[in-house]
Structure 1
Amino acid sequence: MDKSKILEIVKNKISDKIQQLENLIAETRASSNDTKSSMGDKYETGREMLQQEINNLQRQLNETLNQQAIIQKISSDPSSKVQNGALVKTDKGLFYISASIGEINFENQKIMTISSESPLAKIMSGLKKGENFSINKNDQVIENIW
């Protein structure tokens, strides 16, 4: 399994998300400037709602930038135990421990990307091929680690 290609997919998804959020923030700020009128309270309420939206988008952008910083430190070198940057195959699925961006498809396989801070990654951390763990009363076996 080529982890460098999977890492590249994750990096590209995060970069795309950053670009989308920056565009949304710019568009929202532009529309905020367009709402100037003499309507008094309605103007202030609309402007406040736009500011809240900008703040929400900014928070999402900051989280995504943090994910990007984490992903930049990840190596595609092989792993012998579960750790950040490991691709883990259990009897329930494939997990890439990096940044939590959801499911990606690679070579016709679904891979769930999870943060090293997620409960699943914390339980698996340090385990090796053949070891068992349990989460939410579901037992799993680590079949392989790349």
Structure 2
Amino acid sequence: MTNNYFDIKGEILDMALKRTQERITMIESALETARDSSNDDTKSSAGDKYETSREMIQQDINRYQKQLLEANKDLQQLISIESLPNDVMDVARLGTLVQTNVGLYLIATSIGAVKIGTNNIFVISPASPIGKLLIGKKIGDSFVFNNVNQKVIAIY
């Protein structure tokens, strides 16, 4: 790798923070639009049609509120990870960059694969299937994910 692992980890965290903040902005905008629709919806003579429309808008509002809560949790988690010291770790946990013989994984929040230079890094949640397998692993430990045997080479 051309960059050191701590630089890569920092770049990934910055990217994850930016994506999460963009997601929050989009959800807030959708929530505001749904609320405006709810406020603009005036009772018509259709009766049942009005109630159905109003209920659908309320379901949208509830869904956006839940998404916003989750996105804000992700943001706080990323901020807490960013404040962790850059040390080589002996065990995989939230905030660590784990190198296996198959790839690189940052245990943070689930945003999927990101590319830093020529490196593909999977940014995963500790609650994801592979996150659950990685948590607690030490250098030299092996695990099987999607029928592929992986060995932990380093933890940053």
Query: TM (normalized to structure 2)?
Result: 0.84
Rounded Cα–Cα distance in structure 2 between residues aligned with 1:68 and 1:116: 15
- CA drift of 1:91 comes to 2.4
Hey, what does 2:70 align to over in structure 1? 63
Q: How far apart are 1:16 and its partner, in Å?
A: 0.8
Could you tell which deviates more after superposition, 13-22 or 76-85? 76-85
Per-residue displacement from partner, 1:54-111 (whole Å, max 9, x unpaired)?
Answer: 1011111111111112112112613323111111122222211001122222223221
Cα offset, 1:46, TM superposition: 0.4
TM-score, L = length of structure 1: 0.89
CA contact (8 A) 1:76 1:85 kept: no
2:25 to 19, 30, 33: 19
Q: Which runs of 5+ in 2 are unaligned?
A: none
Number of corresponding residues: 146
Query: Residue 35 of structure 1: CA displacement?
Result: 2.1
User: Counterpart of 2:151 in 1: which secondary structure?
Assistant: strand
Identity within the alignment, %: 36
CA contact (8 A) 1:7 1:76 kept: no
| Cα RMSD for the two superposed structures | 1.7
Report whether the alignment pairs 1:44 with 2:54: no
**Runs (5+) with no aligned partner, structure 1:** none
